[in-house]
Amino acid sequence: MTHSKISHHAQKLKSSAIRELLKHSKMPGVLSLGGGIPDPGLFDRDGLQLAMDKVLSDGWQEAFQYGLTEGIPELRAAICQLMQQRAVTCDVDDVLVTSGSQQSLDILARALINPGDVVVVERPTYLAALQVMQLAEASLMSVGSDGDGMIVDELAERLKTTRVKAVYIVPTFGNPSGVTLSDARRQQLVALSQQYDFVIIEDDPYGEINFTDRTFTPIKAWATEMGAGENVVYTSTFSKILAPGARVGWLVLPVWLKRPVASLKQATDLHTSTLSQAFTWRYLDSGRLPQQIRLIRNAYQHKCHLLSACLQTELGDQIRFHQPMGGMFLWATLRDRRNTTDWLQTTLSNGVVYVPGEFFYSDNPDRTTLRLSYVSASDADLQEAVRRLKASL
């Protein structure tokens, strides 16, 4: 029963299905292919210790003090260098440090969206982004995707008759689909943003977890090259490549959006933890991040290929899936068209959990889909989890 004193915003907000499933994954004997949680065994214990020691021995008082809303200048400068490696040129003033990507999305939604504004998302898309957009009372419009990411031609047709405020997209190794938007579609999306004057929110938490020799140029970089840099807001995070517990993410903002976003950030939490920022900066300054990224890439690539091979061997005639080029997720469909939310009760009784696909859709969900995460399970657990899935079928 809903209490009458609770706001209608809070009443409408549904709990994350993934957070609920994580409760099951903690049960004894249950193997989890559910949450997209980095493998803690890969955390750089020595590097984290060195960075924290540096914080506590050098300028420690500032690390425990209030700070600038936009973030500490040293970290923002280090983020600019990181962005340069990702083919995006920006200044310190363009960067705002957030308490993880989730806060970035929340602040952007509040800065950009009025109730009823149309926001386009992929089918499927990131669950927590759907929560944020729904809380902002956006009118969500979904566009299909395939092996090359969002079908931008479909978006182009919709734009002929619908006024769109923003397009939210995870273009590189997407969550949950694992697909990557092709360069041609990235450029087409930027051109449409110029023609129809909408904002592109580019969410890039996984871009560094690349299993290929290819580089995937951010939409932000294409937009700058095409003279539309002001149309794209870029967000990323250190959660997947350093430590999610630090809660440090960032935004690269166009000029017109800097002041409103900073004002909203200030009203939300004054600033991201100065201690977390100082620690992150010290870690980046140590030069250990590139090696850490290589370690994560290699480990996750191995696990992804292992899970794929097991699925193909054990369930090849009953399941089809997209082979990701990077990231943390594998997106699959059951050939017998069974409802994966209902099926979860069976798999749980057999000691394995995944995320049913229906939660990643803003409308008309495909209930035969599921998301599997391979990153935090051991090799033996991945193999056993697939055997348990097979037994459940």
What is the per-residue pLDDT across 38-74, written as a single tens digit (0 to 9) for each? Answer: 999 999 999 999 999 999 999 899 999 999 999 999 9
Q: Strand 249-252 and strand 232-237: pairing?
A: antiparallel
Q: Over range 254-281, report the average pLDDT.
A: 97
Q: Which residues of 150-187 are buried (b: 16+ CB within 10 A; e: fewer)?
A: bbbebbbeebeeeebbbbbbbbbbbbbbbbbbbeebbb
Vertex 363: Cα angle to 359 and 367 (nearest 5): 50
Query: pLDDT tier at 298 (50, 70, 90 boundaries)?
Result: very high
107 and 242 in a single domain? The answer is yes
Q: Residue 1 domain-assigned?
A: no
**pLDDT at residue 133, rounded to an integer:** 96
User: Which structure tokens are listed for 375?
Assistant: 């990153």
Predicted confidence (pLDDT) at residue 173 exceeds the cutoff of 70:
yes
Looking at 226, 260, 285, the residue that finishes a domain is 285
**pLDDT at residue 8, rounded to an integer:** 75
**pLDDT at residue 14, rounded to an integer:** 62
Q: Over range 217-221, report the average pLDDT.
A: 98
**pLDDT at residue 11, rounded to an integer:** 73
User: Which structure tokens are listed for 26?
Assistant: 């903690």
In angstroms, rounded to a whole number, what is the distance separating the alpha carbons of residues 244 and 217? 24
Query: pLDDT tier at 5 (50, 70, 90 boundaries)?
Result: confident
Predicted confidence (pLDDT) at residue 1 exceeds the cutoff of 60:
no
Q: Is the dihedral angle over the CA atoms 130, 132, 135, 138 positive or is it negative?
A: negative
280 and 298 in a single domain? The answer is no
307 and 355 in a single domain? The answer is yes
193 and 266 in a single domain? The answer is yes
Query: pLDDT tier at 327 (50, 70, 90 boundaries)?
Result: very high
184 and 237 in a single domain? The answer is yes
User: Which structure tokens are listed for 295?
Assistant: 């370690």
Query: pLDDT tier at 136 (50, 70, 90 boundaries)?
Result: very high
Q: Residue 174 domain-assigned?
A: yes
Looking at 227, 252, 285, the residue that finishes a domain is 285
**Which residue matches tokens 């002041």?**
259
Q: Residue 2 domain-assigned?
A: no
**Which residue matches tokens 């599997």?**
372
Looking at the structure of the chain, the number of domains it has is 2
Q: Over range 304-326, report the average pLDDT.
A: 96
Q: For position 383, which CATH number holds? A: 3.90.1150.10
77 and 222 in a single domain? The answer is yes
Q: Residue 3 domain-assigned?
A: no
Nearest alpha-carbon partner for 117 in 159, 162, 152: 162
In angstroms, rounded to a whole number, what is the distance separating the alpha carbons of residues 261 and 233? 11
276 and 370 in a single domain? The answer is no
Radius of gyration (Cα) for the chain, nearest Å? 21
167 and 248 in a single domain? The answer is yes
Predicted confidence (pLDDT) at residue 2 exceeds the cutoff of 90:
no
Q: For position 107, which CATH number holds? A: 3.40.640.10
Q: Over range 297-303, report the average pLDDT.
A: 98
162 and 251 in a single domain? The answer is yes
90-131 tens-digit pLDDT = 999 999 999 999 999 999 999 999 999 999 999 999 999 999
Q: Residue 33 domain-assigned?
A: yes
Q: Over range 144-152, report the average pLDDT.
A: 97
Q: Residue 26 domain-assigned?
A: yes
122 beta partners: 143
Residue 188 sits in which domain range? Answer: 61-285
**pLDDT at residue 291, rounded to an integer:** 98
Looking at 238, 267, 285, the residue that finishes a domain is 285
Q: Residue 51 domain-assigned?
A: no
Predicted confidence (pLDDT) at residue 330 exceeds the cutoff of 60:
yes
Predicted confidence (pLDDT) at residue 190 exceeds the cutoff of 90:
yes
39 and 71 in a single domain? The answer is no
Q: Over range 266-273, report the average pLDDT.
A: 96
**pLDDT at residue 27, rounded to an integer:** 76
Q: Residue 52 domain-assigned?
A: no
**pLDDT at residue 59, rounded to an integer:** 86
3-state secondary structure the chain: CCCCCCCHHHHHCCCCHHHHHHHHHCCCCCEECCCCCCCHHHCCHHHHHHHHHHHHHCCHHHHCCCCCCCCCHHHHHHHHHHHHHCCCCCCHHHEEEECCHHHHHHHHHHHHCCCCCEEEEEECCCHHHHHHHHHCCCEEEEEEEECCEECHHHHHHHHCCCCCCEEEECCCCCCCCCCCCCHHHHHHHHHHHHHHCCEEEEECCCCCCECCCCCCCCHHHHHHHCCCHHHEEEEEECCCCCCHHHCCEEEECCHHHHHHHHHHHHHHHCCCCHHHHHHHHHHHHCCCHHHHHHHHHHHHHHHHHHHHHHHHHHHCCCEEECCCCECCEEEEEECCCCCHHHHHHHHHHCCEECEEHHHHCCCCCCCCEEEEECCCCCHHHHHHHHHHHHHHC
198 and 218 in a single domain? The answer is yes
373 and 260 in a single domain? The answer is no
pTM, whole model, 2 decimals? 0.95
